[in-house]
């Protein structure tokens, strides 16, 4: 969508995107709200997460997933749901749920449980044979600080195990994992990760505007960002394009413009 002509905008990748991804978090939209969301933002969203285990209690789940599918938007269940099945020894049941809802994307995470990393990679490997897997690194517990070298090792092993993308944890609120409890980015952590893992392979959870701005300034218009609330997708797209105050001058080359 470009309603009129503006010059000197940063290049934006187009769908189907392998980078420049936007992952939206739906935590319980109604069917009509889902349609509305697709109308305004379907073009800018690449994949939709049904946050944590909200799919367990959301009415008309199948219909909702179908609305997204018809709009070309893949859907997956939040990693907390995967963990809820695992801790109950119900992995086979989890696979049946993926089948029932015909989901071709899945998330593997260990943000709320302790899991041996080899075991986690086995799950990634198994699921990768039937679905596109996103695997998440980082704890939801703000007391568990993982040092940078370990983030890198975990991410690399998960990619090797078959993950399509690795996700940097932030939760809906944006105050754990990649971020301090204030929401501030752990910038040293991010920069060290990027020395070893290609930016294109990472989906950064960044629910807060200041976090989105930080990543876009560091990595450009086409950084992969996730956990974006439905009504923040259009605002995010303007930030990516340098059309909101926060990144307004960032992409402009004044010499080229002739000013």
The binding site for its own copies (CB under 8 A) comprises 1-8, 27-33, 35-37, 39-41, 43-44, 51-61, 80-81, 83-85, 87-90, 93, 96-97, 100, 111-113, 140, 171, 173, 209, 231, 233-235, 237-238, 241, 243-245, 248-249, 252, 257-259
Query: Considering beta carbons, is residue 131 or 159 the nearer one to its own copies?
Result: 131
Instruction: Say how far apart CA 67 and CA 162 lie, in whole Å.
Output: 28
Sheet strands (E) in the chain? 22-26, 47-50, 75-77, 105-108, 132-137, 165-168, 202-205, 225-228
Query: Considering beta carbons, is residue 84 or 131 the nearer one to its own copies?
Result: 84
Query: Considering beta carbons, is residue 30 or 187 the nearer one to its own copies?
Result: 30
Q: How far is the CB of 84 from its own copies (least distance, A)?
A: 6
8 A C-beta contact, residue 159 and residue 166: yes
Query: Considering beta carbons, is residue 43 or 184 the nearer one to its own copies?
Result: 43
Q: How far is the CB of 246 from its own copies (least distance, A)?
A: 8
Query: Considering beta carbons, is residue 125 or 238 the nearer one to its own copies?
Result: 238
Q: How far is the CB of 198 from its own copies (least distance, A)?
A: 28
Query: Considering beta carbons, is residue 41 or 212 the nearer one to its own copies?
Result: 41
Q: How far is the CB of 41 from its own copies (least distance, A)?
A: 8
Query: Considering beta carbons, is residue 120 or 159 the nearer one to its own copies?
Result: 120
Q: How far is the CB of 194 from its own copies (least distance, A)?
A: 26
Q: How far is the CB of 122 from its own copies (least distance, A)?
A: 17
Tokens found for residue 259: 């000013």
187-194 and 209-219 helices, crossing angle to 10°: 40
The beta-carbon contacts of 15-21 under 8 Å, at least 24 apart in sequence, are 15/43, 15/46, 15/72, 16/46, 17/46, 17/222, 18/200, 19/199, 19/200, 19/222, 19/223, 19/224, 20/221, 20/222, 20/223, 20/224, 20/240, 21/46, 21/47, 21/165, 21/203, 21/224, 21/225, 21/226
Q: How far is the CB of 207 from its own copies (least distance, A)?
A: 13
Residue of 71, 67, 20 whose CA lies nearest to 43 = 71
Dmax over Cα atoms in the chain, in whole Å? 64
């Amino acid at each position: 969508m470009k309603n009129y002509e503006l010059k000197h905008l940063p290049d934006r990748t187009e769908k189907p995107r392998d980078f420049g991804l936007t992952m939206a978090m739906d935590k319980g939209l109604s069917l009509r709200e889902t349609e509305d969301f697709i109308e305004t933002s379907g073009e800018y969203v690449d994949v939709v997460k049904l946050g944590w285990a909200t799919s367990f209690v959301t009415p008309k789940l199948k219909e909702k997933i179908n609305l997204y599918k018809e709009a070309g938007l893949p859907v997956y269940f939040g990693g907390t749901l995967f963990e809820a099945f695992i801790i109950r020894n119900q992995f086979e049941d989890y696979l049946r749920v993926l089948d029932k809802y015909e989901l071709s994307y899945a998330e593997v995470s260990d943000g709320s449980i302790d899991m041996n990393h080899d075991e986690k990679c086995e799950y990634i490997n198994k699921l990768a044979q039937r679905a596109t897997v996103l695997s998440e690194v980082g704890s939801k517990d703000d007391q568990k600080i993982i040092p940078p070298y370990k983030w890198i090792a975990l991410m690399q092993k998960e990619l090797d195990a078959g993950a399509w993308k690795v996700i940097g944890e932030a939760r809906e609120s944006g105050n754990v994992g990649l971020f301090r409890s204030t929401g501030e980015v752990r910038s040293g952590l991010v920069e060290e990760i990027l020395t070893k893992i290609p930016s294109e392979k990472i989906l950064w959870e960044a629910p807060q505007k200041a976090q989105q701005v930080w990543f876009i300034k560091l990595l450009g218009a086409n950084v992969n960002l996730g956990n974006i609330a439905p009504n923040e997708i259009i605002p995010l797209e303007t930030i990516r394009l340098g059309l909101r105050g926060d990144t307004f001058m960032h992409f402009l080359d004044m010499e080229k413009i002739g000013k």
